[in-house]
Amino acid sequence: MPTVARAAAPAADHESELTAWRDTVRRFFAAEVEPHYERWEKDGIIPKTLYRKMGEAGLLCVDTPEDYGGVGAPFEFSCVVVEEAARMGFLALASNLTVHSDIVAPYILHLGTEQQKQKYLPSMARGECIGAIAMTEPGAGSDLQGIKTTALRAGDHYLINGSKTFITNGQNAGVVVVATKTDPKAGAKGTTLFTLDTTLPGFKRGRNLDKIGLHAADTSELFFDNVRVPASEVLGRVGGGFGHLIDELPRERLVLAVGAVGHAQGALEKTLEYVTSRKAFGQPLASFQNTRFELARLKTDLEVHRAFMEKCTRLYAEGRLDVPTAAMVKLATTEMEGRVTDACLQLFGGYGYMTEYPISRFFADARIQRIYGGTSEIMKEVIARSLVGRT
């Protein structure tokens, strides 16, 4: 495990450690991901062996305390893993890691009992157990109050019935945080979360869904047929699930923003390489004013949003990132990511539309970022309510 955490370290030491950590992450991805990523895209899944290698290298659950198997590093170190995966063009991996390390692990750490933490977190940090979160259903997406999956009490257990869809890590998951209705008549107050061991009878994985992008990310349907879950697997409070989801959303949306900035940076780097080497009318594309001005616009757009993302990262580390601000950073950075990847593909011309050029994957992968974690439209509604309330 790398020693990257020093809570009382001076700022200069913190920055040098962060830089060294970034170099470590890049070397790992270059050696263990880059040579195989195209095959994983064709396979539609990232092998479990990579998670174990990442666990051995300390790249999973980075800011989870050492008592629970994590590295115990500051939050920014966890962000680096997602940012660098996205920058190198591995947004499917970044998406999977976001769910595993930055959504599921914090849910269990913040809401779980000591038994749940000891059961799941160390094995997640080692990459032996992969985490997924199951909220979306065929008839309920951004409106989580509309979920139909039920968990009804039966003695010292609950029986879970229903289905989920679009679940990242669904094929590989060993533990799933499941959003259910324990009281279907109570609205939001009837929502309860569970940690569900995927070896339990009655749990079934559906097909690995075909997608426009993120081809290496396993995205699945999940089915629950009288899955008998011990009451000790309730995550947080019975009936408190909706509030727990709201409490944890800022981190989820912030880390998506981190990935968006990293992904846009990677697309711009690929484009700079291309326009300086590709010639038209006997001179490099980079020598034309249109190209140069477009690059200047993209760089400015990227850096403005990076500054906002870094501000929000500091706010989260200080416990001060609220729901509306997290919605703002998610909305702003993912919309920027879409603009940048689209403009970068345009600078490649016809070659940008060919799948042999990585920029095409940047473009296709970026599209989902404005949808999952709350659509751009939902982000606008969250922000608007913080300004003028609900009308």
Task: List the catalytic residues.
Answer: 252
Non-local (6+) Cβ contacts of 201 within 8 A are 227, 228
SS3 call for 225: strand
Longest dimension (CA), the chain: 78
Burial 215-237 (b: 16+ CB within 10 A, else e): bbbbbbbbbbeebebeeebbbbe
Q: CB–CB of 218/44 below 8 Å?
A: yes
Say what the alpha-carbon torsion angle 154, 207, 102, 90 is, to the nearest 10 degrees.
Answer: 170
* Cα three-residue angle 131-33-256, rounded to 5 degrees: 50
Q: CB–CB of 178/193 below 8 Å?
A: yes
Non-local (6+) Cβ contacts of 38 within 8 A are none
Phi, psi of 158 (to 5 degrees): -125, 145
DSSP state of 183: S
Extract the tokens encoding 20.
């060294």
Measuring CA to CA, which residue among 101, 145, 239 is closest to residue 183? Answer: 239
Measured distance CA(341)–CA(119) in Å, rounded: 41
Alpha helix segments (H runs only) across the chain: 11-32, 37-43, 48-57, 75-87, 91-99, 105-111, 114-125, 241-277, 289-317, 323-348, 358-366, 376-388
CA 90 to chain centre: 12
Q: CB–CB of 312/253 below 8 Å?
A: no
